[in-house]
Amino acid sequence: MNIIFSAGGTGGHLYPALALASYIKSQDSSSQILFIGSNYRIEATKVSEYGFMFKGLNIKTPSGSLLKKVIGYKDVLLKIKECQKIIKEFKPDVVIGFGGYTSYSVLKASERLKIPYYLHEQNSIIGKANLTLLNKAQGLICAYPLELKTNTPLHLLGNPTSYQIKKSSIANLNDYGLSNDLPTLLIMMGSQGSMIVDEFIYDMIVHYDDNYQLIYVCGNNYYDRYHKLKLNDKVKVIAYENNMPSLIKACTLIVSRAGASALSEIISANKPALLIPSIHVTNNHQYHNASLLVKNECALIINEAELSRNLLSTKINELLNDHDLLVKMIENTKKFNYDDSAMLIYQLLKNEIGDNIEK
């Protein structure tokens, strides 16, 4: 199987693609895999760390002023011919895009060369690039149920990062200086952290006197302010965690943003969550992601505008002291848990290639 992945811009787009690519390679070591992305975003360094080939485009996300957006969109269109050249040289059987503006250039080039392509949508509402490319796709692979008016087949197969989460072990909390026998809250705000949320968490940690244990993954930008604090013995603050799935599995309740990657990890570990959606994201997709889980009683939500130390602390204590509610939330996460997501997507792509050979 020769397959091109187009994914990047953010970890939410890239890590599911890397998880699927890793699974495919584990099943068929002869598979040839190429990633195409931007030279200026996360994929430019991360893809090679996973051992995959990468072709970079000098393309930036259209954002900022109107002029910058116009220039950005022009770059996206101009890169289609460059992508055609790359695709012709690699000769893929199929192409799959995981969202982001770079994927538009790659998949439009694929369409012009009559190479079949699939889309993967990690969020509960479809992104702009995927929506634009939808009608010519062989199929849209969804992490959540989507309501779309389209003739393109929708495949509800989940997020392939579940493959890596399923493989991970449960962390030993003794390694963090904590007990494995006490309820443990994990607060995670992504690799960069969150300035707004950190203010309330800092206040909560400084005045901490609760019975549960607390691990706060604050992000590299905010670690210094905690480094010299004398913390309660039940509190651990770390800048970054290399094996987040293992730590999530070891904890009782998760406080998190509502991005696609974080939610995939939380759901795959069947953990209840208190979600604080970021308002600084495209299409307000974090709010929609969180709302879907709240509707299905997998999580609770605190809107950023309503956030305070007292509200955050109250909600956490209410959840940790309500065993029946936690059990209910755990059971409800299983509605969205596709442990075999990577395998199902791989089979779908194999079937596509087989159909093309027969034709």
Total-model pTM:
0.86
- 349 and 305 in a common domain: no
Could you give the C-alpha distances from 116 to 47, 92, 96, in angstroms and in order?
23, 9, 9
C-alpha span between 103 and 185 (Å, rounded)? 37
Are residues 143 and 288 located together in one domain of the fold? Answer: no
Same domain, residue pair 129 and 248: no
Length reported for the chain: 359
Q: Are residues 111 and 153 both part of a single domain?
A: yes
Q: Which of 157, 128, 131 is nearest to 144 (CA)?
A: 157
Q: Domain total for the chain?
A: 2
Residue 343 and residue 312 share a domain: no
Q: Look at residue 303 in the predicted model and tell me its pLDDT.
A: 93
Cβ pair 104, 129 in contact under 8 A: yes
Distance, in Å, from the CA atom of 260 to the CA atom of 289, rounded to the nearest integer, reads: 8
**Could you tell me the residue range of the domain that residue 309 belongs to?**
166-336
Q: For 277-308, b where at least 16 C-beta lie within 10 A, e where not — what string?
A: bbeebeeebbbbbbbbbeeeebbbbbebeeee
Query: What is the spatial distance between Cα 281 and Cα 285, in angstroms, rounded to a whole number?
Result: 7
- Predicted confidence at residue 78, as pLDDT, reads 80
Q: Do 121 and 215 have their domain in common?
A: no
- Please indicate, yes or no, whether residues 132 and 174 belong to a single structural domain of this protein: no
Same domain, 173 and 256: yes
- Which CATH number do you get for residue 107? 3.40.50.2000
pLDDT along the chain (359 residues), means of 10: 89 90 95 93 90 89 58 71 95 94 92 96 92 95 92 95 84 96 93 78 88 91 85 92 92 94 91 92 87 95 91 94 96 89 94 64
The contacts of residue 295 (CB under 8 Å, 6+ apart) are none
Q: How far apart are the first and last CA of the chain?
A: 17
Kindly state whether residues 146 and 217 are assigned to the same domain: no
Q: Same structural domain for residues 263 and 331?
A: yes
Q: Same domain for 177 and 297?
A: yes
Evaluate whether 193 touches 169 at the Cβ level (below 8 Å).
Answer: no
User: What per-residue confidence (pLDDT) applies to 358?
Assistant: 44
